[in-house]
Amino acid sequence: MKEIIAGLSAAVLFAACGAGPQQVTAENEVLTDGIRFAESVLCDSGRLIVTSFGTDELNPLNTEGRGYVLSFEDSTSEVLIPADGMLSGPKGTLLRDGRLYVADVGKLVIYDLTADPLTARVIPMPAGEVFVNDLAADIRTRTLYVTVTNTGNIYALDMADPALPADSSALTLYANVPGANGILVHDGRMYVASYPADGVTTPRNVIYVLDDLGQPEPRQLISHAGQYDGLAIDGDRLYFTSWTSPKLGYVDLTQGTVTTIPEADSISGPARIAIEDGVLYIPDLPASRVIEHRLR
């Protein structure tokens, strides 16, 4: 179902550099149909793919096997990946060449959406790599990147290999960013949001950028510590979510300034975001909903 809320409407955006306020006047719609703890969204040419835990209580590291994936067109959802015991805490997703890659607890699951019946391949993570969180791809090299929040490790996977081994040998350790959570690859750079796995925010929990994918050397993009989760690009703006204030904002990648959206602090737990056609989709994980926020 879809409803209208005014929680983010007429939001005033305050730039860190002291620029004047801008008005965002569109009302915001909310998706709830079929959602039980939505952790991530993925835009696919008018379709919205939403992961859900399906559990009775919110636990991102549960192993109950009740996770599923929904597909929204307008306000109504359909089950894309059923709760068949394969997924437990599905988080970041990525769609390439008819395959849906899903980050889940301790593993990466790859679904062939072109197969009938649906088929899945499981690639277990190395020992100790439990909080598997988000996915991004470098389409030039067909490399998939996978973040693990509890260790901060980022792994690389060759998406072009048709015979990926069904074990962790398919993964190569690529880089380490403290609390690596949301990840994005854009214009030859990698952006990584840092989230403290133990819930204790430190000065290291910021947003990082790796300027050269061939030589991964993380540097801090912003200095404000938080519990950063989702990342999405719209033009020169890198949007982010955080579980601490400010919960929503963006970095101007040309000016280096940070703009926050104070009204978004009413969101209980903004997770993995996506942008399409001027609409920012924000999963509110604890509230089992996705907020559609029009940017312009």
Buried b (16+ CB within 10 A) or exposed e, 23-44: ebebebbbbbbbbbbbbbbbbe
Structure confidence at residue 141 as a pLDDT band (50, 70, 90): very high
Q: How many angstroms separate the CA atoms of 271 and 230, rounded?
A: 5
Q: Is 138 exposed, middle or buried (0-12, 13-18, 19+ CB in 10 A)?
A: middle
Q: How many angstroms separate the CA atoms of 193 and 224, rounded?
A: 12
The arithmetic mean of pLDDT across residues 110-135, rounded, is 96
- pLDDT: is 65 or 27 the higher one? 65
Structure confidence at residue 273 as a pLDDT band (50, 70, 90): very high
Share of the chain above pLDDT 90, in %: 85
**Residue in this structure with the two tokens 């709760």, named with its chain if needed:** 83
pLDDT tens string 216-247: 999 999 999 999 999 999 999 999 999 999 99
pLDDT at 122: 96
Structure confidence at residue 165 as a pLDDT band (50, 70, 90): confident
pLDDT at 197: 95
- pLDDT: is 164 or 138 the higher one? 138
Which residues on neighbouring strands pair with residue 24, listed in sequence order?
11
Angle at 188 between CA 164 and CA 269, to 5 degrees: 80
Other residues' Cβ atoms within 10 Å of the Cβ of residue 295: 15
Structure confidence at residue 14 as a pLDDT band (50, 70, 90): very low
The arithmetic mean of pLDDT across residues 23-27, rounded, is 40
Q: How many angstroms separate the CA atoms of 224 and 20, rounded?
A: 21
- Go through the domains of the chain in sequence order and give each one's CATH number: 43-67+78-259 (2.120.10.30)
Strands of the 38-44 sheet, one edge to the other: 38-44, 47-52, 68-73, 76-81
Kindly tell me if the per-residue pLDDT of 179 is higher than 60: yes
Of 23-32, 56-65, 246-255, which range is least confident? 23-32
Share of the chain above pLDDT 70, in %: 91
Q: What sections of 17-139 are H helices per DSSP?
A: none
Kindly tell me if the per-residue pLDDT of 7 is higher than 50: no
Structure confidence at residue 27 as a pLDDT band (50, 70, 90): low
Average pLDDT across the chain, whole number: 90
